[in-house]
C-alpha cells in the first residue's frame, strides 16, 4: 500500500515538473500589440477575482460559522432582507461589470487587427520606448495551404514557406487568405489571432520589439496535417533581415502559378523553403481563386454579375478542370452531378493587369466614416410638402421625358 502511494506521489510530481517546462508566451510578449493584449487579459482577470476570491472565502466562513458545532451562531429563521447587504451584493459586482465592459470595449477597439499601428504609441513589452522607424509597414502576404504557411514579400519579390522574418521595431501589415479551408494565423508573442479564409482578405498589424526566434502556428484544426502546421517567426535587426532577404533572393526557385499549384497539394511537416522570384499577381490570383490557367477570377465574375450577368453566354462559359481540388484532397467525386468544371475567364491580359494593379493600389478604409450615410446615387425621396421626383426603383411608368434606369 505504501509503495502504491509513493508511486502516485511521484507521478503527480512528474506531471508538475513537465508543466514547469511550459512557457507562458501570452504572458511574456515580445511586441507592443501582444503586450497590450496581455495587459487586457491580466487586468480583466484581476477585476473578476475581486468578486471570485471574497465569494470563495465567504463560502468557507459561512460553512464553518453556521455549522452544528458552532453554538454561538445567531439563529434567525424569520430574517429575509437587509438593504445594506443587498446594496453590497449588487453594487460591487455592477461596478466591476461596468469597469470590465468599458475596459474591454476600449481595448478591443484599440487592438482591432485592421487598425494600423501608430509609431508614437508603440512601446517595448518592458515599458521602455520603442525605436519604431517612420517608414511604412512591412507588407507580408500570407496564404494558408494544406498544411503549411506561404509568406510573400511583395516589396522584395521573394517568398518563403514555414519561415517568417521581420525587422525589429518596424510595424508589419499581414494580408491573409487561404487556398482551401478556413485557418487561423497566430504568433502569440507578436499579436492576436486572425482568420485566413478562401476567397477573402483579412488583415493583421503587429510588431516585434525584441529580437529572437518565436513560434507561429495554426491555432484552429484544419485537417489531418494540422499538428505540423507550424512556422518559425524571426525578429531580426535590419542587417539580419537584409541578409535573410538576400538568402531568399539567392534561391534559384521561382514561385509562379504552376509551382503554386504544386505547393498547394496537401503535404505535412514541410521544412522551410525559399523562392527567389515570385509572380507579382500570385497573391491576388490566390484571393480571387483563379490561379489555374484560364479560370475566371472571382473579381471579374462579381463585376459581370453587378453589370447584369453574361446572359446566355454565361450558361456555357465553362471548361473542364482536370486537376480539381477534390481530387488533390483524395476524395474525387462529381460536383452537382457533373464532372468538375471551372468558369473560363473572359478578360484580356491587359484587363487582368489593370484589375490586379487596382487591387494592389487600394487604400486602407478608415475605421469610421464621419460623413452622414447616403444612398448609393439615389435621389432624395420627396415628402408630402415637397415636389415628388422620379424614383428609379418605382414600378410605375416614368413621366414623359424621364429615362427608366432599371
Q: Is the pLDDT of residue 299 over 80?
A: yes
Q: Is the pLDDT of residue 71 over 70?
A: yes
The pLDDT value given to residue 12:
62
Tens-digit pLDDT profile for residues 95-106 = 988 988 888 888
Only one residue has cell 451584493, namely 89
Q: b or e along 164-192 (b: 16 or more beta carbons within 10 Å of the residue's beta carbon)?
A: bbbbbbbbbbbbbbbbbeebbbbbbbbbb
* Alpha-carbon span 327 to 34, nearest angstrom: 40
Secondary structure letter of residue 121 according to DSSP: G
Q: Where are the beta strands (DSSP E) in 197-305?
A: 202-206, 212-218, 230-236, 254-255, 273-275, 277-278
Least confident window among 180-194, 290-304, 361-375:
361-375
Phi, psi dihedrals of residue 183, rounded to the nearest 5°: -135, 175
253: left (phi over 0), alpha (psi -120 to 50) or beta: beta
Tens-digit pLDDT profile for residues 156-174 = 999 999 999 999 999 999 9
Q: Is the pLDDT of residue 256 over 70?
A: yes
* Alpha-carbon span 132 to 168, nearest angstrom: 8
Q: Percent of the chain having pLDDT more than 90?
A: 29
The pLDDT value given to residue 400:
55
* Alpha-carbon span 36 to 29, nearest angstrom: 9
Instruction: Average the pLDDT over 332-349 and give the result.
Output: 62
Q: Do the Cβ atoms of 130 and 143 come closer than 8 Å?
A: no
* Alpha-carbon span 263 to 256, nearest angstrom: 10
Place 32 in a pLDDT band, splitting at 50, 70 and 90: confident
Tens-digit pLDDT profile for residues 352-400 = 877 777 776 555 544 444 444 444 444 544 544 444 444 333 334 445 5
Q: Is the pLDDT of residue 14 over 50?
A: yes
Least confident window among 266-270, 296-300, 383-387:
383-387
Helix axes 32-65, 83-110, angle to 10 degrees: 160
58: left (phi over 0), alpha (psi -120 to 50) or beta: alpha
Instruction: Average the pLDDT over 17-25 and give the result.
Output: 59
Higher pLDDT, 12 or 83: 83
> Over the chain, what is the mean pLDDT?
77
Cell numbers at 283, concatenated: 497573391
Place 203 in a pLDDT band, splitting at 50, 70 and 90: very high
Q: Is the pLDDT of residue 250 over 60?
A: yes
The helix (H) or strand (E) run that includes residue 154 is: none
Instruction: Average the pLDDT over 197-225 and give the result.
Output: 90
Place 185 in a pLDDT band, splitting at 50, 70 and 90: very high
Q: pTM for this structure?
A: 0.72
Place 303 in a pLDDT band, splitting at 50, 70 and 90: confident
Least confident window among 63-67, 229-233, 313-317:
313-317
The pLDDT value given to residue 392:
39
Place 115 in a pLDDT band, splitting at 50, 70 and 90: confident
The pLDDT value given to residue 360:
63
The pLDDT value given to residue 150:
95
Place 134 in a pLDDT band, splitting at 50, 70 and 90: low
* Alpha-carbon span 317 to 344, nearest angstrom: 6
The pLDDT value given to residue 378:
45
Amino acid at each position: 500500500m505504501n509503495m502504491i502511494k509513493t508511486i502516485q506521489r511521484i507521478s503527480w510530481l512528474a506531471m508538475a515538473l513537465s508543466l514547469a517546462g511550459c512557457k507562458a508566451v501570452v504572458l511574456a510578449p515580445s511586441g507592443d500589440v501582444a503586450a497590450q493584449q496581455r495587459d487586457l487579459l491580466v487586468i480583466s482577470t484581476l477585476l473578476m477575482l475581486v468578486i471570485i476570491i471574497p465569494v470563495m472565502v465567504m463560502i468557507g466562513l459561512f460553512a464553518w460559522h453556521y455549522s452544528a458545532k458552532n453554538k454561538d451562531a445567531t439563529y434567525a429563521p424569520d430574517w429575509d432582507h437587509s438593504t445594506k447587504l443587498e446594496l453590497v451584493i449588487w453594487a460591487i459586482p455592477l461596478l466591476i461589470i461596468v469597469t470590465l465592459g468599458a475596459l474591454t470595449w476600449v481595448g478591443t477597439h484599440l487592438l482591432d487587427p485592421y487598425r494600423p499601428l501608430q509609431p508614437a504609441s508603440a512601446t517595448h513589452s518592458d515599458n521602455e520606448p520603442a525605436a519604431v522607424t517612420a517608414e511604412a509597414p512591412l507588407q507580408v502576404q500570407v496564404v494558408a495551404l494544406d498544411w503549411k504557411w506561404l509568406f510573400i514579400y511583395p516589396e522584395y519579390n521573394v517568398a518563403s514557406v514555414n519561415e517568417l522574418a521581420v525587422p525589429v521595431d518596424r510595424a508589419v501589415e499581414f494580408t491573409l487568405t487561404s487556398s482551401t479551408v478556413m485557418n487561423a494565423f497566430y504568433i502569440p508573442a507578436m499579436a492576436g489571432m486572425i482568420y485566413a479564409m478562401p476567397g477573402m482578405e483579412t488583415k493583421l498589424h503587429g510588431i516585434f520589439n525584441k529580437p529572437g526566434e518565436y513560434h507561429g502556428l495554426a491555432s484552429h484544426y484544419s485537417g489531418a496535417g494540422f499538428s505540423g502546421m507550424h512556422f518559425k517567426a524571426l525578429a531580426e535587426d535590419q542587417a539580419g533581415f537584409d541578409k535573410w532577404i538576400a538568402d531568399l533572393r539567392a534561391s534559384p526557385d521561382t514561385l509562379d502559378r504552376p509551382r503554386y499549384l504544386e505547393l498547394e497539394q496537401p503535404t505535412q511537416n514541410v521544412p522551410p523553403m525559399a523562392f527567389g522570384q515570385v509572380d507579382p499577381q500570385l497573391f491576388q490570383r490566390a484571393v480571387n481563386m483563379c490561379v489555374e490557367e484560364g479560370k475566371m477570377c472571382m473579381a471579374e465574375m462579381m463585376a459581370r454579375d453587378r453589370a447584369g450577368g453574361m446572359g446566355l453566354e454565361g450558361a456555357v462559359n465553362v471548361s473542364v478542370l482536370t486537376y480539381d481540388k477534390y481530387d488533390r484532397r483524395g476524395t474525387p467525386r462529381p460536383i452537382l452531378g457533373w464532372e468538375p468544371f471551372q468558369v473560363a475567364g473572359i478578360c484580356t491580359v491587359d484587363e487582368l493587369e489593370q484589375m490586379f494593379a487596382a487591387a494592389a493600389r487600394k487604400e486602407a478604409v478608415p475605421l469610421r466614416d464621419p460623413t452622414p450615410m447616403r444612398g448609393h446615387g439615389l435621389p432624395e425621396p420627396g415628402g408630402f410638402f415637397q415636389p415628388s421626383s422620379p424614383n428609379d426603383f418605382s414600378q410605375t411608368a416614368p413621366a414623359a421625358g424621364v429615362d427608366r434606369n432599371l
